[in-house]
Amino acid sequence: MTQFWEIFLPVIIPVGVSLLCWLFIKTFGLGQLTNRIDNMTSKIDDLEKEFEYVKDSLLLVKGGLVQAGVLKESFLIKSGSPIQLTENGRKALQQTGFLQIFQTKKSELIQLIQQKRPQTKYDLQKAAEEVLHNNFLDDNAMKQFKIYVYKQGMPLGDLLASAAVYVRDALAAELNIVE
């Protein structure tokens, strides 16, 4: 009898466990549950694809509305020719202390911008943005500017672009740049 169990026990246990598992799955409908999960996963994948399509479509619509001037691209700068600061943009520059920094550093800013030889207001705006980024960002006076950007969770470039628009408008006449 010992030989019988030595031979069949290694076969009976796995077969018995398999049968018990099969009965458990059939009894509690786990097969249907896995099918439902598979179906839901498939539907979620389909929804993700649809969402990407909707997102891309909304971005195209937004771009068209911005281009048509119906929608503002940034809450700091409004679209147009030329772009202009919004009320939020002016408030942000005031809150960051940039307007005071501009008055304090104006002569140094003018000197550095003139080295870029701007010919148009667009050149002036881009030169101002570059000079602010490369020459003033590490200045202790700009500390509040960086803290504001950090606390607002906005890209530094957005606020620098706003500051550059302000500089363009403030210095164009002084630098004899008409267009």
Q: What is the pTM of this model?
A: 0.58
Give the pLDDT confidence score for residue 163 in this predicted structure.
92
Top pLDDT among 169 and 138 is at: 169
CA atoms 40, 44, 47, 53: torsion sign: negative
SS3 119: coil
The reported pLDDT for the residue numbered 133 is 86
Q: What is the mean pLDDT of the chain?
A: 79
Separation between Cα atoms, residue 34 and residue 59, nearest integer Å: 37
Q: Quick one: pLDDT at residue 134?
A: 85
User: Alpha carbon of 50 to those of 39, 43, 45, 56: distances in Å?
Assistant: 17, 10, 9, 10
pLDDT in tens, 24-59: 766 666 667 777 777 888 888 887 777 777 766 765
The answer to whether the beta carbons of residues 129 and 171 sit under 8 Å apart is: no
In tens, the pLDDT along 140-162 reads: 878 888 888 888 887 788 888 88
- DSSP three-state, residue 45: helix
Mean pLDDT, rounded, for 89-101? 89
What distance in Å separates the CA atoms of residue 28 and residue 167, rounded to the nearest whole number? Answer: 73
96-128: per-residue pLDDT in tens? 888 988 898 889 998 999 998 989 898 889 999
